[in-house]
Amino acid sequence: MRPDTLGALRSSGYESRSVKEEVRENLIRRLGKGGGSFPGILGYEETVIPDTERALLSRHNILFLGLRGQAKTRMARQMVDLLDEYIPIVEGSEVNDDPFHPISAYAKERIAREGDGTPIRWLHRSERYGEKLATPDVSVADLIGDIDPVKAANLRLSFADERVLHYGIIPRSNRGIFVINELPDLQARIQVALFNILQEGDVQIRGFRLRMPLDVLFVFTANPEDYTNRGTIVTPLKDRIESQILTHYPKSVETALAITEQEAHILPEQRKRVRTEPLIRRIIEQVSFEARGSEYVDQKSGVSARLTISAYENAVSAAERRALINREKRTQIWIGDLAGIIPSVTGKIELVYEGEQEGPLQVSLNLLDKALRSVFSLYFPSPDSFKKRKGRETASAENPYRAIIGWFDAGNRLDMPFRMRDGERVTELHRVDGLHALVRKTFPDATENETLLWMEFVLHGLSTHSLISKKLLDDRLSFNDLMGSMLNLGGEAPDEEE
């Protein structure tokens, strides 16, 4: 039973401590037990998380600096778990007054009036978190407070009375954690208003001669693009933020795969209907990696992890939609279904001038093709080493793709409608000479479903190496021989000789 009055709280032996001491001691306890301080944050185990833990142990305010989609806000929100589950406050206090060290006029007057009988309320840690997105219209009144004329009128008080103040979100976050997202977007004059809070820990409102030593752990986030272009962090404010921590995107595809699998919202009925092979997940993840190195994409803006999360969800939905239309109870994501991820890509990449000239749709399709090409090289021999060269008949004879390319060169064509039933797709894939044999030789232990997916993947891989033609039409993918495709377009066949 928690004490419910100030006297009972004194008798219980409760001792107050600052929020930064609270976070520090709880972090020490968690690290001592071998527990993770930021569960679910992947890829930061050796970089951002250790930096953050050092900052919290040092009782620092923190600035997370990084591109969009790098879990900056998520890490800040998880710091709430390092607070005590409950703390006592003076009941009715707007600024979470510590019963032993009140800072507001309301709490001081109530304790003076009621003494040990002052009622106590226990505040859960979930109520000790404040967050504000910095936008140009944010005012000092929003953050710190202002005179409330309605309160003055109702209480019949003059504007010189402290009780007419309306506290902003920062004083209301006293004894908690307060986060300002996208700090550079905050106007410089508003940033200046934070100086005293960070350095001296107090607030000044409308010239009132009052001192409120706030107890707040501040966490700021900023995007380097904003920091250099749209806005800036004023130097004195940056100087008062003790630790600046640089965030980053996943450094490996494996980490990125784990993040996408963890964050994607795939419904149970979708998982039941749609099977997803690891190859599909890797291709989708590779799209982000290609975008982060593309000359058409603005690298200062970054490519959020939300791209692959949304793309994965769209790929599942594309397969689900096809199965529903065809009244199939079970299907898998085919390579052709990846055309459905394009809306997830176009909306999450910022293009440079050259990219704008190409257009977001074409850039997204190119990124998907580059991802297919990159992943293809991980599992199959590079087709480039088998392209015909003068005096290299032996290399041509050993080309594992020779039968497949020859089948298309003979005038055969493969149409793969996006609504194609699985059974029809299987029939079409088996029509291509040498396709099944190549996959069985390369992956002898693959299941039937995996084999079929690999067969389709080979066609896409060969098209990205310009050995066969692939056309994306409104309702289908069409594979043809490269020479015939060139002639139909009035172009010329590429020279395969070096």
Q: Which fold has domain 250-379?
A: Helicase, Ruva Protein; domain 3 (1.10.8)
CA distance 260 to 315: 13
Amino acid symbol at 138: V
CA distance 466 to 120: 74
Beta strands in 12-153 (DSSP E): 62-65, 86-90, 120-124, 129-133, 145-147
Cβ within 8 Å of residue 123, ≥6 positions away: 86, 87, 88, 89, 96, 175
Beta pairing, strands 476-481 & 468-472: antiparallel
Instruction: Beginning with the edge strand found earlier in the chain, give each strand of the sheet holding 243-246 in spatial order.
Output: 129-133, 176-181, 216-222, 62-65, 243-246
3-state secondary structure of 479: strand
Cβ within 8 Å of residue 393, ≥6 positions away: none
Q: Are 285 and 253 in contact (CB under 8 A)?
A: yes
- Note the pLDDT of residue 489: 46
Amino acid symbol at 174: N
3-state secondary structure of 91: coil
* CB burial readout 413-441, b (16+ within 10 A) else e: ebebbbebbbeebeebbeebbbbbebbee
Secondary structure of 124-189 as H, E, C letters: EHHHCEEEEECCCCCCHHHHCEEECHHHHHHHCCCCCCHHHEEECHHHHCCCEEEEEECHHHCCHH
CA distance 387 to 447: 30
CA distance 278 to 331: 15
Cβ within 8 Å of residue 404, ≥6 positions away: 432, 433, 434, 435, 438, 458, 459, 462, 468
CA distance 317 to 220: 36
- Note the pLDDT of residue 95: 92
- Note the pLDDT of residue 233: 87
Q: Does domain 6-246 have CATH number 3.40.50.300?
A: yes
pLDDT in tens, the chain (498 residues): 889 999 999 999 999 999 999 999 999 999 999 878 899 999 999 999 999 999 999 999 999 999 989 999 999 999 999 999 999 999 999 999 999 999 888 899 999 999 999 999 999 999 999 999 988 888 888 888 776 766 666 666 665 666 667 788 998 999 999 999 999 988 888 888 888 788 776 676 666 656 778 899 999 999 886 555 456 888 889 899 999 999 999 999 999 999 999 999 999 999 999 999 999 999 999 999 999 999 999 988 889 999 999 999 999 999 999 999 999 999 999 999 999 999 999 989 999 989 899 999 999 999 999 999 999 999 999 888 776 544 455 455 588 999 999 999 999 999 999 999 999 999 999 999 999 999 999 999 999 999 999 999 999 999 999 999 999 888 999 999 987 555 554 444 444 433
Q: Shortest CA distance to 319 belongs to which of 409, 459, 449?
A: 449
- Note the pLDDT of residue 224: 81
For the chain, where do the domains classified as CATH 1.10.8.80 start and end?
A: 250-379
Question: Helices in 245-305 by DSSP H: which ranges?
Answer: 253-263, 268-273, 278-291
CA distance 23 to 219: 13
For the chain, where do the domains classified as CATH 3.40.50.300 start and end?
A: 6-246
Q: Are 79 and 23 in contact (CB under 8 A)?
A: yes
- Note the pLDDT of residue 52: 97
Q: pTM value?
A: 0.85
- Note the pLDDT of residue 167: 82
